[in-house]
Amino acid sequence: MRALLLGTFILRTATGTTGALLVFWTAHLRDRGTIQVSTADVAAISLAFYVTELLGSPIFGVLADQIGRKPVMLLGPLFGLVAVLITPFALTIPLLIATRLLEGSSTAASVPSILSYVAAQTSHDERLRGRVVTLFEVATLGGLLVAGTALAGPLYEIFGEVAFFINGAIYMLALALFAYGVKDHHSRPDGAAENRLRRYAHLFRQRGILLFVPTWVAINAIVGVWVPQGLYLLTGSSGVAANGQFLLSGFSPTMITSALAGLALIGGFGLFFWGNSFDRYRRTSVLLGGVVAFVVAMAAVWLLNRMTGSELPLIVGLLLILSGSMFFLAGATPAALGFLADVSERYKTDRSAVMGLYSIFLGLGQVIGTKVAGDVAATLGVDGLVYVTLGFLVIAGGALLVLRRVEHEILPPNARRGAAAH
């Protein structure tokens, strides 16, 4: 398990580094006059990753259940390695898109198999499951958003195109950890592959999963709404008319990143707290707390947007409310992972397929949120993002309330015992 989590962190670091290096490389090609890059091209390059993740996750989930988790897990760093090695030779938009298709395949192959392994190895201990899914989230977000992004800039400035090959070595390190550190015994299930594909389609019709989909898609759509669109609006250079919106007046990069770092730190504490509380609270209770915290956070953002900048005590108070909300928001991801892991106990031969739903709904939500945010931000600014978020929260909360009423019929008995009172 330690090798798995460390390998996940290193793989996500390599993935984040690849994404940032690709931005620098595309800008280099544009500045050199090698290619013409439009906003539509940038969108196509970005969406290629999500499309492959969405389409590939169910395929690799079924494959992992059929031939074993570990062989499919190894495909993750291998796909990423190929993607990063061909990027310096990608001198056209179609080739740049191809690199993102490969990178999306890396995520599609690795996440279902990794999460299936986590679910199987923690099926006997709720507290252990909580700790491990929390560490998985820390490894994923820490690698993608912190280590990978921070590493890409210095690598590219110092080594130029050679940075891609250095990053290839990072993928190989992740591959070695998965290959030699992860021990997994797999028994081939009965039934042909086509029957397993039909069984995978059958999973989508299960009531617990159907009720879980709107909540998880809506929560990830909110992430797509605010990142990166919300951050872009805060810079004040978005071209959107302020119209009295304080948050459109423009803030320095240092102020924005410092605020984000503070919120991320509080969210990190929340991750560890809720991840270590799996035996005390129902997964749906933690998710519901996250939805309520989102509503409180949006109220704080809306009020902040009404300020003029001179009401310092009130602004500080609203920022504290927003920070407190982050603590409860952070519980949503481990709770969602925990819920899917609990559901997978009923489908042990399809565990990878069930856990692959995490990636499918995550990618789908972020694509929807990114598209909607682009449409409303241009006309309504930050207020538009708040209104769209509240709409997604109505969808998430409504489905979640229904799910809470029937979850005792969905989850296996061992997943219900620990937190029945909460």
Alpha-carbon distance 318 to 383, whole Å?
16
Provide the CA 106 distance to its chain's centre, in angstroms.
14
> What string of pLDDT tens digits covers the 422 residues of the chain?
999 999 999 999 999 889 888 878 887 888 888 888 765 576 677 778 878 888 888 889 888 888 889 999 999 999 999 999 999 998 888 999 999 999 999 999 999 999 889 988 888 887 888 888 888 888 887 788 778 877 888 888 889 899 999 999 999 999 999 999 998 876 555 554 455 556 666 666 677 778 888 998 999 899 878 876 777 788 776 567 777 899 988 887 667 757 876 887 788 888 889 888 877 888 899 999 999 999 999 999 999 999 988 899 999 999 999 999 999 998 998 888 888 888 878 777 777 777 777 778 888 888 888 778 877 887 888 999 999 999 999 999 999 999 888 877 777 666 554 444 45
Tokens of 301: 């953002």
Ranges for all domains in the chain classified under CATH 1.20.1250.20: 2-180, 207-416
- Asked whether the CA dihedral 269, 270, 271, 272 is positive or negative, the reply is positive
pLDDT digits (tens, 9 = 90+) for 239-293: 677 778 999 888 876 677 578 768 877 888 888 898 888 778 888 999 999 999 9
Give every CB contact of residue 261 below 8 A, 6+ residues apart in sequence: none
Query: Whole-model pTM above 0.85?
Result: no
CATH superfamily of 2-180: MFS general substrate transporter like domains (1.20.1250.20)
Contact (CB, 8 A) for 320 and 389: no
Write down the architecture of domain 207-416 according to CATH: Up-down Bundle (1.20)
- Among candidate residues 235, 203, 269, the one with its CA nearest the CA of residue 57: 203
pLDDT digits (tens, 9 = 90+) for 387-417: 999 999 999 999 999 988 887 777 766 655 4
Contact (CB, 8 A) for 31 and 38: no
